[in-house]
Structure 1
Amino acid sequence: MEDNNFFKNVARVMFGNAALLLSQVLTGLVLPKLMSVESFGNYRTFMLYGTYAGLLHFGFVDGILFKYGGKNIDDIKREEISKYFSAFIAIEAITSIAIMAISVFLFSGSKYEFIFFAIGIYSFVLNIVTFFQYFSQAIMRFGLVSSASLIQAATISMIIVSVLVSKLVGFSNGVNYQTYVLMYIGVYCVLLVFYTFGYKNGNRHNKISITGKYGVNGISEVFKIGLPITIAYQISNLTLNLDNQFVSMFFSARTFAKYSFAYNLISVTVSVVLAVAMVLFPYLNKLGKAAALKQYINNIDYILLFAYASLISYYPVQIIVTWFLPEYQESLVYFRILSPGVAITLCITVIVSNYYKVMDDNIRYLRNGCISLVITLILDTVVYFTFKDVIAMAFVSLVELAIWYTIEDVSFRVKYNIKNFSSYLYIGLMIVAFEVATGLQDILLSLIIYVCLYLVISLLVMRRSVKAFARILKIRTALFLG
C-alpha cells in the first residue's frame, strides 16, 4: 500500500511538473523571441542570482522538512508550527528590506540596481512559498503541491502568450526584462495567496497562522537542523552554476545570453524528473535507514535510465531552435555538450542528496560539496585563463559534474558498504554515445543511432535494473487496469 501511495504521489506531482514543463517550453523557446538578446541576457542574470535567494531562508525550510518529514498532520501542534511560521516571516522581511537598501546604495544607476532590488522582493515571496511547499511535502500533501505547480504553469503561460499575441497584432514590440521580472515575481505572489488559502480552509490542515509567540529555543533547533542542508544545497547550486557565473562575469551579455539559453533548455528536461525528488525524502524517511539503503543502487539506476532516455528531446529542440530562434543557434553547441550532464545532476540532486538526509549525514555531504566546489573553482579558473573560450567552459563543466558525483557517491558507498559500480560504466558509455550520435549532420540518422545505442548499452550494463523496473511497471499496470 505504501508503494502504491508513493507511485500515486509521484504521478500527482509529476503531472503538476509536466504542466510546468509546458510553461518552461514557452519560457525557453518563446520568451527569447519576445526580448532582444541583451534583454534576455539581463533576465537570465536575474535568474542566475535569483537561484541564490534560497540561501536567504538560512536553513529554516529545510529544517521544517527534516523535522516533520513523514509525519501525520494530526500529530503536529498548531501552536508550534504557527510559532515557526511567524518568526520566519519576520526574518525574511528584514532580510528582504536589507537587500533592497543595499541595491539602491551600492548599484545606483546600473542594471544591477534593478536586478538586486527585484531579488530582495523575490527572496521574500519565494522563501515563504517554499515554506508552504516544504511543509506540504513533509506531511505528504502532494495534491496541494501539484495544484500549485498547475497554477504557476498556467499563470506563466498566460503571461507569455499574452505578450506574444500583443506582439503579433502590433500592440507592442515584445517585453523588456524589467517588466517580465516583475510579472515573474507576481506569479509567486499568486502562489503565496493559493497556499495561504490552502491552509485556511477550515479542515484539519488549518494549523498555520501568525502569532506573536516566537519561542527562540524551538526555532533555533529548526535552524540548527536545516542550516547544514541549506549550505550544502547552495554549495551544490554554486557548483552547478559556476561556469554560468564565469561566462556572466567575463564574457559579453550576448554571449552569456546564448550560453544561459542552453541551460534554460536543459532545465526543461530536468523539471519533470524533480517530481521524484519532491516525493522521495518523506517516503525514505518513513522506510527507515536499513530499508532505504537496500534501494540505493536501484534508485540510481532508474534515474540514469530515465535521464538518458529523456535526452531524445535534444532532437526536437534542435529543430525548433534552428527554425524559430536562429539567433540562438550557437546555443545548440553548448546544449549538446552540456546535455549528458543532466543524468549526473539528477543522480546528485534527486538520489544522493536525499540519502544523505535520510542517514542524517548532512555534514559529510556538506564537506564533500566544499571539496567539489574548490575543484570546480580551480578548473574553471584554469580553463578560462588558458582558453578564454565558452566551449571549453562547457566541456569542463561536464568533467566537474562527474568529479562531484564521484566524490559524493563513492563517499556514501564506502561508508555504508554499498557495492556494484556499474552506474559509472553506464554514465561513461552513454556520454560517448550521445556525443558521437549528435555529432552526425543527418538528424534522423543521429536519432536512430542514439536510440539504438541507448537500448543496447542499457540492456548490457543495466540488465538487472531494467528487468526489475519492467516487473514493477507490469504490476502497476495490472493494478491500474484491474
Structure 2
Amino acid sequence: MNKKFKDFYYTLSANMLTFIMGVVTGFMIPAYLGYDDYNYIKVFGFYLTYVGIAHFGLLDGIYIKYGAYDYEDLPRGKFRSYFKFALIFQVLEAIVIAIGIFMFTKDSSRSIVMYFVVINMILMNMTSLFAFIHQFTKRFKLFSFNTVFTKLFYVIGCLILFKLNQYGYVYYIMIQTFVNLVVLLIYIYNNKEIVFGKSDSISKNVSEYKELFGTGFLVMMGNFITLVVLGIDRFIIDKFMTNYDFAMYSFAYTLVSLFFILLNSVTSVVYPFLTRAAESTYKNVYETSRYAISFMMTFTLSGYFIIRFVVEVFVNKYVDSLIILVFLVPTVVCSGTINILVQNMYKVLKATKDYTKNNLVALIIALLTNAIGFAIFRSSISVAVATLIAFILWVIYSDRYFSKILNINVKKCQMFDIIIFAVFIFTALNFQWYIGMIIYVMLLSLIIFIFFKKEFKNILMLIRK
C-alpha cells in the first residue's frame, strides 16, 4: 500500500471508530444525566479546549522547527530537555492557576470543574508534545491507537457508571482525567528514547528556547484565536443564558463535533506532506483542495438528517437543540477549509504573523456578528445563525489573502458553499428527515455534476498524482 494512503488509512480508521464511539457518548450521556450535571460536563469540555494556550507556543515552535524530520533523525538530547522543560513549565503554571481558582471562584461545583481542567492542562499539553512528534514524523499508528483508546475507555467507563446508577458529573470528569493520564503514559513508553537518558542542559540553551517560543507563539496565538472564534457562541450562552439553554446548545455542538472528528483524519496527515511538496504546486494544491473539501464536507452535511431522526426518537428531551443544529452544521464545511487547508498553508509558507493577524480579523468578525445577533434577538438560535455568518466571512477573508499570495481564484467555490448552505437549511427546516435527506443529496449531486464537472476532474487528477 502507498505510504501516504497507509498513513491516511490508519488515521481515518481511528477517527471512524472515534466517530462511532462519539455517537454513543454523544447520545447516551445527555439521555441519562440531568440538565445540570450534563451542563457541568460540557463546561469542563468547553474550557478544556483552551488549555493549549498554556504552553505559550513552545510545542508549535518544536512542530515547525522539526516538521520535516523523521523520528530517527531527531536530536535525542534536545528532545529530552524539551520534555523536562515542558513538564516543569506546566506544573508551575498549574499551581498558579489553581491558587487563582481558589481565590476567585465562589461556586463550589464550578471550582471542582476548573481544578480538573488544570490537572488535565498538564496531561493534555504533555500529550500534545508527543502527538505533534508522531504527526510530523509520520508515525500515525500509535497516534491513531491513542485516538481510539481515549474514546473507547471513556465509553466503557460511562457504561459502568450507567450500570451503577451513578449520574454525578464528577465521575465522568474523573474518567476523562484518568484516560488522559493513561494516554500520556503510553506515549512516554513508546517514545522513551527521547524522554529518558542524558539530556541537553536547559540553562545552556536559553537562546534556543526563546527561538522556539518566538516561532511558536504567533502560531499558538493564531490557534488560540481560532478556538476563541469557535467558542464565542458557547461563552455567550454560558454567561448570559440559563443552564438549560447551555445544555441545549452544548448538545447541538456535541453533535457538530462528530463531524469534526472526521476532519481530523485529513488534517493530521496534510501538514507533513505539504512541507515536502514543491513550492510550484501550491497554487494548484490550494485551488483543487478548496473544491475537494467543499464537495466532501457538503455531502457529510446529510448526516444531520440521520442525527435528527435519532434525537427525535431516542433523546427527545433535547429536541429543542435541532433548530440550533441546523445552523451550526454548515460551519463544518467552513471549519474543514480552515483546519485542513488554510491553517496548514500558513504554516507551510511560514507566514505566522499573517496567520495571527488574519485570525484576529476573524475574531473581530465573530465578536461583532455574535454580539449583534444576541443583542437583537436574545436567543440561542440567533447566536447559531451569527456563528455561521462569521464562519462564512472568515473563509472568504482567508481565500482573499491566499488569492494575493498564490494568485488563486476560488470565488466560484465560495458561491457553491453559500448556495449549498441555503439548500441544506431549506430542506432541513421544511421536510421530514428522510425526504429532506433525499432532496438535499440529489440537489447537491446535480449542482456538482452540472456546474463543477471540471473541478471534480481536477480533484481526481490530484489524487492520482
Task: Tell me which interval the TM-score lies in, with the shorter structure as reference length.
Answer: over 0.9
Taking the aligned partners of 2:455 and 2:179, their CA distance within structure 1 comes to 40
Matches within 5 A, 1:432-471: 432-470=422-460
Taking the aligned partners of 1:246 and 1:209, their CA distance within structure 2 comes to 45
| Aligned residue among 4, 7, 10 for 2:5 | 7
Name the residue aligned to 1:97.
Answer: 95
* 2:168 pairs with 1:176: yes
Name the residue aligned to 1:331.
Answer: 321
Taking the aligned partners of 2:360 and 2:381, their CA distance within structure 1 comes to 25
1:109: how far off? Answer: 4.4
1:458: how far off? Answer: 1.6
1:128: how far off? Answer: 0.4
Q: What is the aligned residue count? A: 462
1:74: how far off? Answer: 2.6
Name the residue aligned to 1:199.
Answer: 191
1:378: how far off? Answer: 2.1
Matches within 5 A, 1:205-216: 206-209=193-196, 211=199, 213-214=201-202, 215-216=205-206
Matches within 5 A, 1:44-443: 44-164=42-162, 166=163, 171-172=164-165, 174-200=166-192, 206-209=193-196, 211=199, 213-214=201-202, 215-443=205-433
Per-residue deviation, residues 237-281 of structure 1 (Å, max 9, x unmatched): 101110111011100011110011101000001211211110111
1:117: how far off? Answer: 0.9
Residues 77 and 200 of structure 2 are in contact (CA less than 8 Å); yes or no, is this contact kept in structure 1? no
Supply the AA of the counterpart residue of 2:288: N
Taking the aligned partners of 2:451 and 2:343, their CA distance within structure 1 comes to 24
Residues 85 and 209 of structure 1 are in contact (CA less than 8 Å); yes or no, is this contact kept in structure 2? no
Alpha carbons of structure 1 residues 361 and 461: separation in structure 2 relative to 1, 3 Å = farther
1:464: how far off? Answer: 2.2
1:212: how far off? Answer: 7.2
Taking the aligned partners of 2:300 and 2:293, their CA distance within structure 1 comes to 10
Taking the aligned partners of 1:228 and 1:288, their CA distance within structure 2 comes to 25
1:408: how far off? Answer: 1.6
1:375: how far off? Answer: 2.2
Taking the aligned partners of 1:160 and 1:465, their CA distance within structure 2 comes to 45
1:471: how far off? Answer: 5.3
TM-score (norm 1): 0.92
Residues 86 and 209 of structure 1 are in contact (CA less than 8 Å); yes or no, is this contact kept in structure 2? no
Alpha carbons of structure 1 residues 20 and 373: separation in structure 2 relative to 1, 3 Å = same
SS at match of 1:287: coil
1:472: how far off? Answer: 6.4
Supply the AA of the counterpart residue of 2:290: I
Taking the aligned partners of 1:395 and 1:336, their CA distance within structure 2 comes to 9
Residues 152 and 191 of structure 1 are in contact (CA less than 8 Å); yes or no, is this contact kept in structure 2? yes
Taking the aligned partners of 1:285 and 1:58, their CA distance within structure 2 comes to 23
1:233: how far off? Answer: 0.5
Taking the aligned partners of 2:261 and 2:239, their CA distance within structure 1 comes to 27
Taking the aligned partners of 2:449 and 2:152, their CA distance within structure 1 comes to 39
SS at match of 1:286: coil
Per-residue deviation, residues 304-344 of structure 1 (Å, max 9, x unmatched): 11111111111111111111111100001101111111101
RMSD: 1.7
1:399: how far off? Answer: 0.4
Supply the AA of the counterpart residue of 2:276: K
1:161: how far off? Answer: 2.2
Taking the aligned partners of 1:212 and 1:50, their CA distance within structure 2 comes to 32
- Name which of structure 1's ranges 432-441 and 335-344 shifts more when overlaid on structure 2: 432-441
Taking the aligned partners of 1:300 and 1:472, their CA distance within structure 2 comes to 12
Taking the aligned partners of 1:294 and 1:222, their CA distance within structure 2 comes to 31
TM-score (norm 2): 0.95
Supply the AA of the counterpart residue of 1:207: I
1:466: how far off? Answer: 1.9
Taking the aligned partners of 1:73 and 1:195, their CA distance within structure 2 comes to 14
1:29: how far off? Answer: 0.7
Per-residue deviation, residues 95-127 of structure 1 (Å, max 9, x unmatched): 112222211121144322112111110100000
Alpha carbons of structure 1 residues 398 and 420: separation in structure 2 relative to 1, 3 Å = closer
Taking the aligned partners of 1:310 and 1:36, their CA distance within structure 2 comes to 30
Taking the aligned partners of 1:191 and 1:58, their CA distance within structure 2 comes to 22
Taking the aligned partners of 2:209 and 2:99, their CA distance within structure 1 comes to 27
Alpha carbons of structure 1 residues 226 and 470: separation in structure 2 relative to 1, 3 Å = same
Name the residue aligned to 1:16.
Answer: 14
Supply the AA of the counterpart residue of 1:181: I
Which 5+ residue runs of structure 1 have no aligned equivalent?
A: 201-205, 477-482
Taking the aligned partners of 1:334 and 1:63, their CA distance within structure 2 comes to 38
1:299: how far off? Answer: 1.1
Taking the aligned partners of 2:239 and 2:451, their CA distance within structure 1 comes to 41
Taking the aligned partners of 1:116 and 1:336, their CA distance within structure 2 comes to 31
Supply the AA of the counterpart residue of 1:140: K
Residues 140 and 279 of structure 1 are in contact (CA less than 8 Å); yes or no, is this contact kept in structure 2? yes
Residues 40 and 110 of structure 2 are in contact (CA less than 8 Å); yes or no, is this contact kept in structure 1? no
Residues 17 and 271 of structure 1 are in contact (CA less than 8 Å); yes or no, is this contact kept in structure 2? yes
Per-residue deviation, residues 279-306 of structure 1 (Å, max 9, x unmatched): 1111100114332332111111111111
Residues 259 and 334 of structure 1 are in contact (CA less than 8 Å); yes or no, is this contact kept in structure 2? yes
Residues 369 and 389 of structure 2 are in contact (CA less than 8 Å); yes or no, is this contact kept in structure 1? no
Taking the aligned partners of 2:390 and 2:21, their CA distance within structure 1 comes to 30
Which 5+ residue runs of structure 2 have no aligned equivalent?
A: none
- Name which of structure 1's ranges 407-416 and 335-344 shifts more when overlaid on structure 2: 407-416
Supply the AA of the counterpart residue of 2:75: K
Supply the AA of the counterpart residue of 1:43: I
1:83: how far off? Answer: 1.4
